[in-house]
Homo-oligomer: A and B are copies of this chain.
Amino acid sequence: MRIGELSRRTQIPIRMLRYYEERGLLTPQRAPSGYRHYQEADVEQATLVSSLVRSGLPTRLILPLLHDLQPNPVDGDETDDGDDDLVALFAAEFARLDSQVKCLSLSRNAVQQHLRRLRATRVSHDPTAT
């Protein structure tokens, strides 16, 4: 599929799909015209990448992550050959994620509670309930 369809299906702006490619997180094939052509699997991968980015993972860390998760989609160079800096980076990132998961759960609950309170005030029309 082409970029427009992928964008529609993933809800990710075209601009971002191109950006992910620039970062090496998505590697569509190119038609002779220059048009990008995506595989079905890219729907999932794009969604994953987008989630990771929104979770605050820097794209440079997402790349090696993808290598671990799926041993093919990113055409492997030697990006993840255990170098010490990476280990440190990921250790830090892991700690961050770990605390963030807890923190986000807390936030989630707080938001939910806040939402309930807001709706209790503005009762009546919007049935977008939990």
Contacts and interface: CB of A to CB of B under 8 A. Distances in A.
A30 interface: no
A107 interface: yes
A101 interface: yes
A100 interface: yes
SS of A interface (majority):
helix
A8 interface: no
A80 B111 contact: no
A64 B114 contact: yes
Nearest to A69: B110
19 contacts: A51-B100, A54-B56, A54-B103, A55-B56, A57-B107, A65-B114, A68-B113, A68-B117, A80-B118, A82-B119, A82-B122, A87-B118, A87-B119, A94-B111, A94-B130, A97-B107, A97-B108, A97-B111, A101-B101
